[in-house]
Amino acid sequence: MERGSSKHGPRLDEQMSQEVSGLLQGPGTGGSRVEESRVPEPAGEDQPETTTAPAGELRTGAPKGMSSQDVERRSRLGRFITMSALPGDRETLIANARDNDAPDDIIADLGTLPEGIRYQTVSEVWAALGNKNETTRW
């Protein structure tokens, strides 16, 4: 077995680091990870724009009974209701949403909830607002 030094000089080290900088750093100072030959060309003037869902609905893994837009809207509601507010009634949920800088439409929606009912989860709040949850969970 031959033993030798695997160290390089500073000049060779610098050259080798420049060769792989685009792979390590991504776009910016070191270059892009994408080779120019792999970048798709833009659509022509009379061509439709590309889309990931040519038939309409995205295949995002939305559960049965909900569309991907429903999932996104429920998630948006959940961003402004923290776990510390649950279980909670309408006033607790509104106060918590205001503390989390919820937009006016979320506050208005929460204001339509009936008084005196305590909600355990965001899904219960979502259903009380007149929306559908998934039909089967797993």
Average pLDDT estimate for 17-43: 63
Encode pLDDT of 34-58 as tens digits.
566 666 677 777 877 666 555 655 5
Which of 95, 133, 128 has the alpha carbon at shortest distance from 113?
Answer: 128
pLDDT at 9: 79
pLDDT at 57: 54
pLDDT at 7: 73
Those residues whose C-beta lies under 8 Å from the C-beta of residue 80, and which sit 6 or more positions away, are 96, 97, 100, 101, 102, 106
Which of residues 90 and 24 earns the better pLDDT score? 90
Residue 106 has pLDDT above 70, yes or no: yes
Residue 30 has pLDDT above 50, yes or no: no
Average pLDDT estimate for 88-109: 92
